[in-house]
């Protein structure tokens, strides 16, 4: 667990980059049961008005909170998490796309932190209003 006394509002506590490729989407589809063809077939995605295959929104959302849980060392320390999807993450047929994730301290409570999360691709936000409340002491319920 991070030391609350060492943190200040505005501190970036996590900065991590994830690479997503079509294999990532296939693995996520299998794990989630979401086999919508916009996540693996360019023709379907384009027919739906998208520029091409896009990552699952929940996959993008999970990357942001995974960075936080890795930093905390305890997934159960996340008390609340929410976001809006700002832009889709287009995943190329070959190669990968880099999703840059960061978390910044918004507020420090007695035993919690309020974090602002950011996820971007090519400098464009893919999540909006992403916020998490985390418990600093995992021994408290």
Give SS3 for 103: strand
Res 9: pLDDT: 97
Res 73: pLDDT: 94
- The percentage of the chain sitting over the pLDDT mark of 90, rounded to a whole number, equals 91
Token duo for residue 38:
């916009």
pLDDT at 92 over 80: yes
Neighbours of 14 (CB within 10 A): 19
pLDDT at 139 over 60: no
- Name the residue among 133, 96, 136 with its Cα closest to residue 117: 133
Domains of the chain: 4-135 (3.10.129.10)
pTM exceeding 0.85: yes
Helices (H), the chain: 22-32, 42-47, 57-72
| CA gap 120, 54 in Å, rounded | 14
The confidence band for 140, taking pLDDT boundaries of 50, 70 and 90, is very low
pLDDT in tens, 17-65: 999 999 999 999 999 999 999 999 999 999 999 999 999 999 999 999 9
Res 141: pLDDT: 46
Tokens 């880099």 sit on residue: 98
């Amino acid at each position: 667990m991070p030391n609350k006394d060492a943190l200040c509002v505005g501190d970036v506590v996590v900065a991590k980059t994830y690479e997503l490729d079509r294999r990532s989407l296939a693995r996520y589809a299998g794990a989630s049961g979401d086999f919508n063809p916009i996540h693996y077939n360019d023709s379907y995605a384009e027919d739906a008005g998208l520029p091409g295959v896009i990552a699952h929104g929940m996959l993008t959302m999970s990357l942001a909170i995974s960075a936080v849980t890795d930093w905390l060392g305890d997934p159960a320390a996340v008390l609340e998490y929410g976001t809006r999807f700002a832009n889709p993450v287009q995943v190329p047929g070959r190669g990968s796309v880099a999703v840059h994730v960061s978390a910044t301290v918004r507020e420090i409570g007695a035993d919690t932190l309020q974090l602002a999360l950011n996820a971007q691709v090519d400098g464009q936000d893919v999540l909006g209003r992403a916020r998490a409340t985390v418990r600093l002491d995992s021994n408290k319920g």
